[in-house]
Structure 1
Amino acid sequence: MTIELTVKGMSCQHCVAAVTQAVHALDASATVNIDLAAGHVTIHSTQPSDTFCQAINEAGYTATVDTSA
């Protein structure tokens, strides 16, 4: 399934790497696409979106499910 998230607090490639690492810690086979400028993260995974939000929040960012997608 495709999960669309809005992530606040990302400002550089280190942030992109940290968010990607948080996602892959939950699902190593997940596909992660990040639009840094828009603060938008697209994840292709079978895991529920809430688990990714929690992991990204624990990494120091603010993640919410993007309901407009």
Structure 2
Amino acid sequence: MMSTTPHTFVSSTTFRVTGMTCEHCRRAVRQEIGRVPGVQRVDVDLATGSVTVHADRPVDRVDIAAAADAGGYALLP
């Protein structure tokens, strides 16, 4: 992650995630990131490789990256 990128966010933020190619990927990413405390909703767009995370309290980007990694995917900076 770039040093100028804020470490936490509230509301919604969109990330790029590599390795997603199918409906299974969509479910896995949604499920893993959805487990992060504070995350309310996860929208996955396979065509663009983007994941929009909606949070109701501050969420650390490191936790989102770790969740994507746990599902077998990589969050791009």
TM-score calculated relative to the size of structure 1: 0.81
Aligned residues with identical type, % of pairs: 31
Structure 1 regions of 5+ residues with no counterpart?
A: none
1:3–1:49: 8 Å Cα contact kept in structure 2?
no
Larger radius of gyration: 2
Deviates more, 1:8-17 or 1:41-50: 41-50
Secondary structure in structure 1 of the residue aligned to 2:35: helix
Question: Which has a greater percent of strand?
Answer: 2
Q: Post-superposition shift, 1:57?
A: 1.1
The count of aligned residue pairs is 65
After superposing on structure 2, the runs of 4+ consecutive aligned residues of structure 1 that deviate more than 4 Å are: none
Question: Which has a greater percent of helix?
Answer: 1
TM-score calculated relative to the size of structure 2: 0.73
